[in-house]
Amino acid sequence: MKKMNQILWAMFLGSALVFTGCDDDADPEPENEPELITTINVTFTNTDDADDEVTFTASDEDGDGMGITYENGTLTRGATYDIEIEVLNETETPVEDVTEEIEEEDDEHQIYFGFPTTLFEDFSYENTDGNGDPLGTEAQVTVVEEATQGSFIVIIQHEPNKEANSDTTPWVYSDEIGGETDANVTFTVSVQDAEEPVTVVRQ
Amino acid sequence: MHHLCKVLLQLTLKDNLTLSAQYSFQFNRRSEFDIRRGGRSNIPALDLSLATQALDLDLEHKLGKNWQGGIGLNTSLQDNDNIPGTGVRPIVPNYNRFTQGVYWYERFIGKRFDLEAGIRYDYQYLEVATFVNRVELVKPDYQFSNASFTLGGTYYWSKYLTLQTNLTRAWRPPNISELFSQGLHHGSGIIEEGLLYENGQLNLEINPENEQAYKWVNTLTYQDTRFVLEASAYYNYIRNFIFLSPFDTRLTIRGAFPVFTYQQTDADFFGLDINGQYEVYKNFSSRSKVSLLYARDIVRDDVIIHMPPYRFDQSFTYQPKRLGKIKKPYFTLQSIYTARQFRAPRVVPISDITGLTNQQVSDIQAESVYDFIGPPSDYWLFNWQMGGEFSLSEEQSLQVGFSVENVFNIAYRDYLNRFRYYADDLGRNFIIRLQYNF
């Protein structure tokens, strides 16, 4: 009988411990994702004509979720453009400007670019990190005179090995550069001829 | 951080009746870090609290010399939570899981043969808290239950030869990642979607089914002083077999990624495993292993993706008692041949899918399971292991081991490794092991 009591006690203690785990959990809150990138705006401004400003946008409203939408644009043949890149997290209120974080940690980031030589020429980085290596939130490029429609790739790389950049084309990403890809978007660039300057003929 | 507490109670009630009870409590706090932007690298990207309690009761009885058996109870309660504040969407939702199992088995131990039979009933209650579209909290709950049994016998043919046969029915409910996986896995570079997702959206109307298996295994064992052979043939029928399969590609802001979804089907498996060990000469032995598997999707009358290909493993070991000052030395040369999985699904390259309309992609999906790339070629790997023990004093000794994996630095891809979509497997690998005993 004594033994039986021991067993009953053991079972009772055991079950008591098991069921103390059953208290209701508090409802979880959705996690804020400050590092999420939802939107990339690439603005081309004609260096000769500030009115010729074209913004290309890639947006994915919930980050890694259900696909991406693009807004593409048309550039002018033969024109030189300043490129400015803006990276946003629109899930935050107010909208978080991720570009600031990228520029603060400029040595740990680089924006790489990809385009056919039938579209762009004379590409140059317009900003650098503290070590004098390219950063790429600002750049400049010229549209080829005989340009045809083409794709334009923008890759935001975190912790790339900038030493591995190509000497002649430091904007081209290769596997040797490594790092983690924060964004990789491809825009379609249409081209048009420059409008003929209007000549007013006096008679 | 890991805490474990265990209490074991064993009581002999009568000569032939033993009760054992074990209670255990386990607490894990798991934090994983990543390289992050904005000085967040010291904030965990994954922060989990995992608490598990288990109570196991087993009452064992003996009836005379030949009968023994038992009844028992397994209870467990698991509370897994994501600790808020990571700034990263959790990969696994918060959940509580309660499981209860009861079983009864009897064993007859005879002179020439043993017989064993057992039945078991399991119940599982799963309560999940997750989000739809990142913000809307949902708390679905699921109940799974099923009965399983086992029936087996062993026949001692002679001093050397034993025959064994076993028929079991088993089941398992889908686990939490098979149900709720959603999103990009940064480790493997693929997007995974669980059974409850449909076109990337959580669909709580879906009723996931238990995996139910019927397995018949026959094993023949021969053993004498120099030669051991074990051959095991099995047939396994699994209803609602859960597998992860290529499904689509998805363009995200991080680029295009392959999408894999968990799917269920009914499947047949036929397998043969042979293990042999032979002492060729004094201290010199040979060991051989053969694994063959044939798998079939019954519903689609098709192959099943990611099934292990045929494998042959042969090794030779020289193991003298002593070699000079070295105690228990060993030298092993192992060679493993892995065949190409010729029963792999058809290939639809990613480049073919990305340009298609949704309708065209659904047509491909409906036709049969497919893979983004074909199965890797067969490969032959060689490994070398050697080691021994040096005595330093009466009590102190040093164990030394040196091994080389993939000696010839063969470039290969393992069909079952998801990295095969991107890169070769490991090249030559040197491993040095030192163990100081004192």
* CB neighbours of residue B213 within 10 Å: 19
Which residues of chain A are within 8 Å of residue B82 when distances are taken between CB atoms? 28, 31
Nearest to B35 among A62, A65, A180 (CB): A180
- Which residue in A3, A8, A18 has the most chain B C-beta atoms within 10 A of its own C-beta, making it the best mutation to test that interface? A18
Cβ-defined contact of A10 to B134 (cutoff 8 Å) = no
The pLDDT value recorded for residue B36 is 80
Q: Does B79 touch chain A (CB under 8 A)?
A: yes
Please answer yes or no on whether A3 and B254 come within 8 Å at the CB atom. no
CATH label of the domain that carries residue B119: 2.40.170.20
Q: Work out the minimum CA distance from B398 to partner chain A, whole angstroms.
A: 41
CA A149, A155, A160, A162: dihedral to nearest 10 degrees? 30
Region A155-175: what's the mean pLDDT?
91
Instruction: Verify cis geometry, omega within 30 degrees of 0, for the bond prior to B376.
Output: no
Q: Is the pLDDT of residue B64 over 50?
A: yes
pLDDT at A2 over 60: no
A105 closest CB neighbour out of B11, B37, B84 = B37
Confidence of residue B99 (pLDDT cuts 50, 70, 90): very high
Contact A21 B183 (CB under 8 A): no
Chain A contact for B129 (CB, 8 A cutoff): yes
Across all residues in chain B, what is the average pLDDT?
Answer: 91
CB contact under 8 Å between B13 and A28, yes or no, is no
Overall pTM > 0.95? no
Single-letter amino acid, residue B235: Y
Is the Cβ of B252 closer than 8 Å to some Cβ of chain A? yes
Residue partners of A94: CB distance under 8 A and separation at least 6: none
Is residue B389 in some structural domain?
A: no
- B78, part of any domain: yes
Instruction: Evaluate whether B373 touches B422 at the Cβ level (below 8 Å).
Output: no
- Interface residue of B43, B80, B253, B422 to substitute, partner A, most A CBs within 10 Å: B253
| pLDDT given for residue A10 in this prediction | 52
Residue B155's DSSP bridge partners are: B113, B163
Interface of A with B in 106-165 (CB under 8 A): 108, 158-159
**Neighbour tally for B144: CB within 10 Å:** 17
Strands B211-223 and B322-323 turn out to be unpaired
What tokens appear for A143 in the block?
A: 């549209």
CA of residue B357 relative to chain centroid, distance: 37
Which residue in the set B11, B37, B90 is minimally distant from A7, CB to CB? B11
Note whether B411 and B424 are within 8 A (CB): yes
Contacts of A173 in chain B (CB under 8 A): none
The confidence score (pLDDT) of residue B1 equals 76
Specify whether the CB–CB gap between A119 and A152 falls below 8 A: yes
Residue in B23, B137, B253 nearest the CB of A14: B23
CB nearest to A21's CB, from B79, B85, B94: B79
> Is A167 in contact with A143 (CB distance < 8 Å)?
no
Q: What is the pLDDT of residue A21?
A: 47
Q: Which of B172, B191, B171, B195 is nearest to B183 (CA)?
A: B191
Burial of B295 (C-beta count, 10 Å sphere; 0-12/13-18/19+)? buried
Residues of B in contact with A22 (CB under 8 A): 77
The answer to whether the CB atoms of A65 and B252 lie below 8 A apart is yes
Q: Which of B220, B233, B381, B387 is nearest to B315 (CA)?
A: B381
Question: Which ipTM was obtained for this model?
Answer: 0.73
Q: Is A179 left (phi over 0), alpha (psi -120 to 50) or beta?
A: left
Percentage of chain B with pLDDT > 90? 61
Q: Which residue of A has its CA nearest to B13?
A: A3
CB A127 within 8 A of CB A99: no
Decide if A11 and B53 are in contact by the 8 Å CB cutoff: no
Flag the least confident range among A138-152, B95-109, B244-258, B286-300.
Answer: B244-258
- The lowest-confidence range among B27-41, B220-234, B313-327 is B27-41
- Say yes or no for a CB contact (<8 Å) between B37 and A7: no
Tell me the pLDDT tens digit for each residue of A11-59.
Answer: 555 555 555 544 456 788 887 777 888 899 999 999 999 899 999 999 9
Identify the top-confidence range among A65-79, A174-188, B331-345: B331-345
CA B417 to each of CA A117, A168, B345, B421: distance values in angstroms, whole numbers, following the listed order: 38, 37, 16, 9
| Residues from chain B contacting residue A64 (CB–CB below 8 Å) | 183-184, 191, 252-254
**CA distance linking residue B357 with residue A202, whole number of Å:** 57
A26 reaches B (C-beta below 8 A): no
With beta carbons under 8 A apart, name residues in chain B contacting A105: 37-38
CB contact under 8 A, B84 and A35: no
Q: What is the pLDDT of residues A5-14, one digit of tens each?
A: 555 555 555 5
- Counting beta carbons within 10 angstroms of the beta carbon of residue B69, is it exposed (0 to 12), middle (13 to 18) or buried (19 or more)? middle
pLDDT at A197 over 70: no
Among A15-29, A79-93, B33-47, the range with the most confident prediction by mean pLDDT is: A79-93
Q: Which residues pair with B405 in a beta bridge?
A: B429
B90 class by beta-carbon count within 10 Å (0-12 exposed, 13-18 middle, 19+ buried): buried
**What are the tens digits of pLDDT across the range A94-109?**
888 999 989 998 999 9
Residue in B279, B335, B280, B282 with CA at minimum distance from that of residue B312: B335
Between CA B328 and CA B237 the distance in angstroms is 45
Q: Between B81, B96, B254, which is nearest A64 by CB?
A: B254
Give the sign of the dihedral formed by CA B103, CA B104, CA B110, CA B113: negative
A102 touches chain B (CB under 8 A): yes
Nearest C-alpha of chain B: how many angstroms from A158?
A: 8
In this structure, are residues B155 and B113 in contact, taking their beta carbons and an 8 Å threshold? yes
CB contact under 8 A, A67 and B252: yes
Q: How many domains does chain B have?
A: 1
Subunit contact A28:B55, Cβ cutoff 8 A: no
Q: How far is CA B113 from the centre of its chain?
A: 32
Q: Are the beta carbons of B137 and A13 separated by less than 8 Å? A: no
Model pLDDT, residue A22: 46
Is the pLDDT higher at B188 or at B250?
B250
Looking at residue B358, what is its pLDDT? 78
What is the per-residue pLDDT for A1? 46
Q: With CB atoms and an 8 Å threshold, state whether B137 touches A101.
A: no
Check if A40 contacts B (Cβ < 8 Å).
Answer: yes
**AA letter at B32:** E
Shortest CA distance from A158: residue in chain B: B37
Residue B423: pLDDT over 90: no
Q: Are A111 and A155 in contact (CB under 8 A)?
A: yes
DSSP annotation string for B230-298 = EEEEEEEEEEEEEEEEEEEEEEETTEEEEEEEEEEEEEEEEEEEEEEEEEEETTEEEEEEEEEEEEEET
d(CA B419, CA B400): 33
At A63, the pLDDT band (50, 70, 90 cuts) reads low
Interchain contact, A31 vs B251, CB within 8 Å: no
Specify the range with the lowest mean pLDDT, choosing from A7-11, B11-15, B49-53, B303-307: A7-11
How far apart (Å, rounded) are the C-alpha atoms in residues A68 and A59?
A: 6
Please name the residues between 45 and 74 in chain A that touch chain B, using a CB distance below 8 Å: 58-60, 62-68
Is B349 within the bounds of a domain? yes
Tell me which chain A residue has its CA closest to the CA of residue B97: A22
Domain region containing B179: 2-379+407-423
Segment B281-313, tens digit of pLDDT: 889 999 999 999 999 999 989 999 999 999 999
| A98 at B interface, C-beta within 8 A | yes
